[in-house]
A and B are shown apart, each in its own frame.
Chain A
Amino acid sequence: MPRLSAHDYLKKRKGKREKFWWSSHLSGDQAAAPNQSMHSNCRGSHWPLEPRCRPCRGDSDGQLYSAGIIDLKSRNRRTIATLLVLCCQPTTMIAQRAGLTALRRVAGKPNAFFAANVAKLALAQPLTTSQIRPVATQKISGDEARALLAKQRLNRPVSPHLDIYDKQQTWFGGSAWQRITGSAFSGGLYVFATAYLAAPLLGWHLESASLAAAFGALPLAAKGALKFLVAWPFAFHAFNGVRHLLFDIGVGFKRQTIIKTGWYLWGASIVGGLYLAFFL
């Protein structure tokens, strides 16, 4: 399988997005700003800075929709504009989307809110095949818009998402395992040392003689397994530590070399772990 760098992967994803902007725009942007309902129909670039929608232009295919401000009425000294979205071709499909999506949600993945409320949701919003869907917009001041933007920025997702990384780098990358093995050893050391300090108070026996005696009493298979469980991370951390120090002085830092030595590292650490566990 060809290996994809994060850059290539993003490019690929971007291509998909542009092809199917309908689903990606509506699900992606809505997901990023779940509280945003004012401009959910607009594809325009003014989201979310401009406080009020302009009428959207339809897609070049004529397949999408056009929208216009139909009704204006004053309430509480504010202008409430009711935006009616007139869908052209796939109207029935879109009108049924609410029910279908709710069903798909319930069927696919357990979601506490929708599982508990889907029945009520279906009742609360009578399903209709009408071609008109009202979406409320509100005229707000510049300050309010900026406050809204600030609030939305606080909901920005984690970036970059873990999903964009090459799987080989994510799961077999020496760097991640260096940290995992290192923190396992250091964590073990910290736990053991603290327990050793507290041992006289708690009546534990953690002196070297007791530990050796306890380990010696284990069956042979358990001893071998435990030794390998310690020896492999030790070998990995030691070999990869040297590899990273060489990276830091600029040796073996070509991309292809990094990938190659990354695979050698797994072989060497497993062989080294087996040697330390069973032949030492």
Chain B
Amino acid sequence: MASIARSSLLRQAASTTKFSAATRPAFQQTSIANAVRATAFHTTARRDLLPPLPQRVEGTVNDASPVPPTSPSHGSYHWTFDRLVAGSLIPLTVVPFAAGSLNPTLDAILCATILIHSHTGFQNIIIDYVPAYRTPRARKLFMWGLNAATVVVGLALYEFETTDVGITETIKRIWTA
């Protein structure tokens, strides 16, 4: 069975091969030779679903991974602050359902809290998926991009809160439209 399949493959190869081995570029020759040699050992196809991000070796290869300097403001304080912000969103979310809407001050506080919550949430996502030790420049770019976006959104929310009817009232009007 296999020999039948192979002979037809060879015939096909003979009819479609355009270049002889000597006219191929050098890099093709070496890569083909390597591939042929490696093919015998491969029984499964490689699937690069999530190719690893670029890596660097710090020091020598046998050194342990460097532990980043600890800092409570990037650690436990930050974590607690995140939870406080998230927790304070609970009453701000429940009140408009109970009272029908929010007064401008509470609405502005809700906007600001959501903005902080979104900003730190996006920060967490960037920290998780754009690691600084692998892609330091992309990390910096994303972080500063996020900062810029948050400033723009903050400005827009200020504009919206001061010239329009406020976020809860807007949602209410759209919902009942």
Which residues of A does B touch, CB under 8 Å? 23, 26-27, 30-31, 34-35, 37, 40, 94, 96-103, 105, 108-109, 111, 113-114, 117-125, 127, 133, 135, 146, 149-150, 153-158, 161-162, 179, 182-183, 185-186, 189-190, 193-194, 196-197, 207-209, 211-213, 215-216, 223, 227, 238, 241-242, 245, 248, 280
Contacts and interface: CB of A to CB of B under 8 A. Distances in A.
Contacts of A149: 61
Given A99-B6, A100-B2, A179-B125, A121 B39 contact: yes
Contact of A108 (B33, B37, B45): B45
Contacts of B70: none
B32 interface: yes
Interface of B: 2, 5-6, 9-10, 12-14, 16-17, 21, 32-46, 49-52, 54-57, 60-61, 83, 86-87, 89-90, 93, 114, 117-118, 121-122, 125, 149, 152-153, 155-157, 159-160, 164-165, 169-170, 173-175, 177
Contacts of B51: 158
Contact of A157 (B14, B16, B52, B90): B52
Nearest to B35: A121
Query: Which applies to chain A's interface (DSSP): helix, strand, loop or mixed?
Result: helix
B118 A155 contact: no
Nearest to A155: B52
Given A150-B57, A154-B57, A27 B35 contact: no
Nearest to B47: A109
A58 to B, nearest CB: 17
Given A190-B118, A193-B156, A196-B160, A27 B41 contact: yes
B175 A227 contact: yes
A88 B157 CA distance: 75
Contact of B38 (A37, A118, A216): A37
B104 to A, nearest CB: 14
Contact of A196 (B60, B89, B117, B156): B156
